[in-house]
């Protein structure tokens, strides 16, 4: 049993409510908490993550998806630990006819739950993949039995665990793709979180590739 994981998820629900997520979703706080309740219960029976704790890890994450609130609405709510500057969506995300983030979809092989909320277990920032291209990191992540994070998951992670987005310790979200060489990423710009993108064959010394051990829906 992992009662502490249910406590972790319950705290994250509180954090989302504090930021006004129910209002952005067009529902009441009671409705939001009702949506999350089965996942709090689910977290209570998940196996305990045996990996050692570190600055770049989170045992469990409640993911809020674009089915509930658009990514564009959520990015400005992001904050760094030591700054009140609003999160920024890089203007290059709308630099052509395929505007915004709607064309970034989860990689089909990841089997991401089709739900407004779900759990992500054993999250890692992916520091070991700094200075490695996403193209090379993805097979290594798969060989470890892990899964790369999507945009929805990255925004959720930076929302409830802002300490994981730090100078020289930022991360790519290679679980989302629009079918080309662009890989979305979260980094720091002018004391604010920024959701931008990089090319899949370009390494960055300050960008890892975030991953998790599994995704869990309320009914699985």
**With 80 as the cut, is the pLDDT of residue 94 above it?**
no
pLDDT at residue 220 greater than cutoff 70: no
Q: Which domain holds residue 127?
A: 3-216
Tell me what pLDDT residue 97 has: 45
Question: Which residues neighbour 39 within 8 Å (Cβ) at sequence distance 6 or greater?
Answer: 9, 62, 117, 118, 119, 216, 218
Q: What is the pLDDT of residue 99?
A: 58
Of 79, 216, 218, 106, nearest to 161 (Cα)?
A: 79
> What is the pLDDT, as a whole number, of residue 85?
97
pLDDT above 80 (res 186): yes
Q: Label residue 195 by pLDDT band (50, 70, 90).
A: very high
Note the pLDDT of residue 91: 79
Confidence band of 218 (pLDDT split at 50, 70, 90): confident
pLDDT band at 73 (very low <50, low <70, confident <90, very high): very high
User: Mean pLDDT across the stretch 165-180?
Assistant: 96
In this model, does residue 1 exceed pLDDT 70?
no
Domains: count for the chain: 1
Mean of the pLDDT values across residues 140-155?
Answer: 97
Please report, for the chain, how many H helices and E strands are present, in that order. 6, 12
Region 48-72 average pLDDT: 84
**Chain CA centroid to CA 176, Å:** 11
User: Which sign does the torsion angle of CA 164, 169, 173, 175 carry?
Assistant: negative
């Amino acid at each position: 049993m992992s009662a502490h994981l249910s406590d972790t998820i319950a705290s994250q629900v509180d954090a989302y409510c504090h930021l006004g997520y129910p209002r952005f979703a067009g529902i009441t706080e009671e409705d939001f908490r009702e949506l999350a309740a089965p996942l709090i219960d689910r977290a209570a029976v998940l196996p305990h993550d045996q990996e050692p704790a570190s600055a770049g890890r989170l045992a469990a994450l409640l993911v809020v998806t674009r089915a509930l609130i658009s990514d564009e609405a959520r990015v400005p709510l992001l904050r760094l630990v030591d700054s009140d500057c609003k999160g920024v969506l890089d203007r290059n995300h709308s630099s052509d006819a395929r505007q915004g983030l709607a064309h970034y979809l989860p990689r089909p092989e990841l089997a991401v739950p089709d739900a407004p909320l779900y759990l992500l277990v054993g999250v890692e920032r992916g520091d070991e993949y700094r200075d490695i291209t996403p193209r090379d990191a993805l097979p290594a992540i798969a060989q470890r039995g892990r899964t790369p994070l999507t945009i929805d998951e990255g925004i959720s992670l930076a929302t409830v665990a802002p300490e994981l987005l730090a100078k020289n310790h930022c991360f790519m979200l290679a679980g989302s793709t629009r079918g080309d060489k662009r890989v979305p990423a979260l980094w720091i710009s002018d004391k604010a979180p920024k959701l931008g993108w990089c090319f899949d064959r370009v390494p960055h010394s300050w960008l890892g590739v975030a991953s998790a051990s599994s995704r869990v829906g309320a009914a699985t």
